[in-house]
């Protein structure tokens, strides 16, 4: 029995591309997986990891004969990739991507898509702070949402075919308008990343002595921000270059709200602070009950074991307190 797709072409093989390769292989979703990257060393790494069947530096080669092509490069590279692959795309193929912005992607790709190729942009809402081909794992998409933003001209049967591909990898699929996607993601993803990068940057500007203490005491909240701010810089640069309007709109709201909080701190308005800090708990509960997060404290982060009980005699040696 043959797989749902005869040839899957992945252009770019970072965290998302490699995770698709592993999940598609495990679920038997393509007879052949072709991988193309711009850099030879990344391609070598993918080959060593055994992520695909065909490895090539020529993206046109990879897409030739493919019935599913997924762009997994940073969004900033889409236009040049598209110019390279357009002549080689097969009639009837689905062309999709995994970029974090969708309006811009449509604007760049749509004019270059050959007739008969189905452009269905996609965005799997999944990831970790790690990047590169070795960061991928087959379970990345399990229980996570994948948003598809097909244009009005796309045959629903093709959208459903791509949705089936994502469901088979464990995702829940939702289709929506590209502009709406970009506004929702601006607040759930782009602003959190911008703020995390910003606060880690503020720390990077502190004098060296204080900075080493910040690292020491990072468990007090800061380290969560550094995880987000460790995400791929080129990918994130492209997100902010290509979702500018939605980001600036949401950043405006964020800054207004922060000014209100800042004033409450300055004026010592305890009731306002407590009200603000209480109402945010409900949203956390909703996220956990929606299955998008673990309820375990600290995300289930491992905690070390305590040391073996210390002899009281040793403890007392330090002290000489009143009860000695």
Residues 228-267 that bind a copy of itself (CB under 8 A): 228-231, 233-234, 236-237, 240-241, 244, 247-248, 250-251, 253-255, 257-258, 261-262, 264-266
The residue among 67 and 82 lying less far from a copy of itself, judged by its C-beta, is 67
Based on the shown chain and the rule CB under 8 A, indicate whether residue 303 belongs to the binding site for a copy of itself. Answer: yes
In the bound state with a copy of itself, the residue whose beta carbon lies nearer, of 152 and 310, is: 310
The secondary structure of 120-162 as a DSSP string is --EEE----S--SGGG--TTTTTT-EEEE---TTS-HHHHHHH
Distance in angstroms (rounded) separating the CA atoms of residues 8 and 65: 9
Nearer to a copy of itself, 1 or 152 (CB): 1
The residue range among 50-58, 79-87, 101-109, 213-221 that interacts with a copy of itself, by the rule CB under 8 A, is 213-221
Which residues 150-209 are close enough to bind a copy of itself by CB under 8 A? 157-158, 160-161, 163-165, 167-170, 174, 183-185, 187-206
The residues in 103-132 that bind a copy of itself, with binding defined as CB under 8 A, are 125-130
In whole angstroms, the minimum distance from the beta carbon of 230 to a copy of itself comes to 4
Complex with a copy of itself: residue 57 or 188, whichever CB lies closer: 188
Distance of alpha carbon 324 from alpha carbon 314, whole angstroms? 12
How far apart CA 53 and CA 35 sit, in angstroms, is 8
CA distances from 216 to 131, 222, 303 (A): 25, 10, 16
For a copy of itself, the binding residues in 74-103 under the rule CB under 8 A are 76, 91-94, 100
Cα angle value 73/196/273 (rounded, 5°): 145
CB of 314 to a copy of itself, least distance (A): 8
Contact 142, 158 (CB under 8 A): no
User: What gap in Å lies between CA 204 and CA 238, rounded to an integer?
Assistant: 22
Q: Nearest 5°: phi and psi at 38? A: -80, -40
| Of 111, 152, 208, 318, the one binding a copy of itself by CB under 8 A | 318
């Amino acid at each position: 029995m043959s797989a749902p797709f005869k040839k899957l072409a992945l252009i770019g093989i970072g965290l998302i591309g490699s995770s698709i390769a592993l999940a598609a292989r495990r679920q038997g979703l393509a007879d052949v997986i072709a991988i193309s990257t711009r850099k030879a060393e990344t391609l070598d790494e993918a080959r060593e990891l055994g992520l695909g069947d065909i490895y090539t530096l020529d993206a046109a080669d990879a897409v030739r004969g493919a019935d599913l092509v997924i762009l997994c490069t940073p969004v900033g590279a889409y236009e040049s990739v598209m110019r390279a692959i357009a002549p080689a795309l097969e009639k009837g193929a689905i062309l999709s991507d995994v970029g974090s912005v969708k309006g811009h992607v449509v604007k760049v790709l749509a004019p270059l898509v050959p007739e008969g190729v189905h452009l269905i942009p996609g965005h799997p809402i999944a990831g970790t702070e790690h990047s590169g081909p070795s960061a991928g794992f087959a379970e990345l998409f399990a229980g996570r949402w994948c948003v598809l933003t097909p244009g009005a001209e796309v045959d629903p049967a093709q959208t459903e075919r791509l949705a089936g591909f994502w469901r088979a990898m464990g995702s829940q699929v939702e289709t929506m308008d590209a502009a709406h996607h970009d506004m929702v993601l601006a607040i759930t993803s782009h602003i959190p990343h911008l703020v995390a990068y910003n606060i880690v940057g503020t720390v990077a500007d502190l004098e060296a002595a204080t900075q080493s203490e910040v690292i020491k005491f990072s468990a007090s909240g800061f380290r969560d921000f550094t995880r987000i701010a460790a995400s791929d810089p080129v990918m994130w640069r492209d997100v902010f270059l290509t979702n500018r309007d939605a980001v600036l709109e949401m950043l405006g709201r964020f800054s207004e709200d922060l000014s209100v909080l800042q004033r409450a701190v300055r004026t010592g308005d305890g009731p306002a602070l407590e009200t603000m800090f209480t109402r945010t708990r409900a949203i956390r509960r909703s996220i956990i009950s929606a299955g998008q997060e673990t309820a375990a404290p600290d995300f289930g982060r491992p905690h070390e074991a305590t040391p073996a009980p210390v002899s009281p005699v040793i403890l007392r040696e330090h002290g000489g307190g009143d009860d000695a």
